[in-house]
Amino acid sequence: MDILFIAAECAPYAKTGGLADVVGALPQYLRAMGHEAIVVMPRYSSINGDRYGLRWFHGPMGVWMGNTQEWCAVHTASSGGVPVYFIESQKYFDRWGLYHDANFNDYQDNPRRFGFLTRAGLQLCKDIGFKPDVVHAHDWHTALAPAYLKIWHWNDPLLGSAASLLTIHNIAYQGRYPAYHMDYLGLQWGNFTPDKFEDHGAINFLKGGIVYADMVNTVSPTYARETRTPELGYGMAPYLNAKGENYIGILNGCDYALWNPQTDPLIPARYTCDDLSGKAACKRALQQRFGLTVSPDTPVIGIVSRMVEQKGLHLLAQCIEDIVANMRVQFAILGSGEKALEHYFGELPARYPGRIGSYIGYSDELAHWIEAGSDFFLMPSLFEPCGLNQMYSLRYGTLPIVRATGGLDDTVQQYDEATGDGTGFKFYEASAHAIYYTVGWAVSTYYDRPQHMQRMIHTAMAQDFSWERSAEQYVRAYERAIQNKRGG
């Protein structure tokens, strides 16, 4: 089948989280299975065209938005054999960040920016004659695609038969904006009703996408169950429950071509579960690079995270100083986000030299170093749709310490202190108290039960969360979406 991906992010070109990893990897695996997949995304000014081999492809291309025709150009490149098309618009994408400015203020025209991206993706299909069997939309940014297919393209000879799948990567972000954008978006005011796009007087992109999509999925089975509840559905639970069996959870895959300590070109030394000497070298290099006391016998806890409330780092801030005061342990922290959290974690190395190291910002190389050089990886998320870092950690023999929510609960097996079975340490309460004592449990296991550590490391590195399995489930979801489309 032919699949069109429209997304705000795609690795390696533009990334803020797991959305980019999925859009970067899944089409490659679909093509390996014999399907045709293309990706449409913005040409952000941060994308280095020379580095990625972008070339002009098409344009000028007119895109109707309500009663306004916008113009853009299209560039293209190939990622793992997948054609990626970049929508170039100085008006909408030639600016500092993907979604917000340098002060983390959302761009006020985001609804127009991503409504335009979505319409441009569909227009490109018409211009190049690509007839998708399925349009795969991702998060609120492109959640209007299922609606556009049924409102504007229902009788289009190229797009009229296309089914839609909407993937929710994080239901907390819904694209809720003032209602006056309806005219520009061309959604027709008849759709501004509580059972479609209207949300307490505002337009809600994700809500309308859920209603109009032929299939909806999220990125782990547990998160699919959680989002059907009032507590974690963020107001969308009634609409997800109304989808019935047409709302499912598909666990994200892990791209082991990029995240594998046997072949990783970014880490100081390669290693396998049968020879962990390279991991010891990675730990030593990590300690040196983060200004930690070089000590092979002191456990290192790694963190790679967006510094936002969802990730639970405000809870960690309440207990990390007690942890380093009462336990012989070190931290290597990489992340950026809310300024208060950046400031707090950025100052800790000066206050705890040799025990805490931090890098405020993002570095792909440092992320690999932390995965390879740490003994534990901490993810105290309030909720986590899937999470990928815990999967990376497992392959690198870095045992996860996680809150048992969403994909973290699906992928980490709880340590059994009686047998040494398991792949990590899970806690259930979202509190600093729970973080403190679970870290203490992991640290005591490191010192007091080294034979259990070795058993868990071997079990963890043998886990397989490859994309092949997930891609097969997406194909079945596409097939069901097509059946639902044909069934009206």
First-residue to last-residue Cα distance in the chain: 20
Stretch 392-410: mean pLDDT: 97
Domains (range + CATH), the chain: 2-253+467-486 (3.40.50.2000), 277-461 (3.40.50.2000)
User: Encoding tokens for residue 6?
Assistant: 């429209």
pLDDT over 80 at 488, yes or no: no
pLDDT over 90 at 353, yes or no: yes
pLDDT over 70 at 315, yes or no: yes
**Number of Cβ atoms within 10 Å of the Cβ of 54:** 18
Residue 166: which of 35, 6, 1, 405 has the closest Cα? Answer: 6
Stretch 408-435: mean pLDDT: 98
Model pTM score: 0.90
The enclosing H or E element of 305 equals strand 300-307
Residue 337: which of 353, 321, 360, 320 has the closest Cα? Answer: 360
pLDDT of residue 301: 98
User: Encoding tokens for residue 47?
Assistant: 């994308």
Portion of the chain with pLDDT greater than 70, in percent = 100
Whether the Cβ atoms of residue 165 and residue 216 lie closer than 8 Å to each other:
yes
Which phi and psi (to 5°) does residue 339 adopt? -60, -35
pLDDT digits (tens, 9 = 90+) for 72-100: 999 999 988 999 999 999 999 999 999 99
Q: Which residues pair with 466 in a beta bridge?
A: 254
pLDDT digits (tens, 9 = 90+) for 472-482: 999 999 999 99
d(CA 218, CA 233): 12
pLDDT digits (tens, 9 = 90+) for 29-55: 999 999 999 999 999 999 999 999 999
> Is residue 15 a known part of a binding site?
yes
pLDDT of residue 89: 98
Q: What is the mean pLDDT of the chain?
A: 96
Burial 212-245 (b: 16+ CB within 10 A, else e): bbbbbbbbbbbbbebbbeeebbeebbebbeebee
Q: What is the largest CA-CA distance in the chain?
A: 70
| Sheet with 425-427, side-by-side order of all strands | 356-360, 330-337, 300-307, 376-379, 399-403, 425-427
- Say if strands 176-178 and 202-204 run parallel, antiparallel, or are unpaired: antiparallel
Q: What is the dihedral of CA 131, 136, 137, 139, to 10 degrees?
A: -170
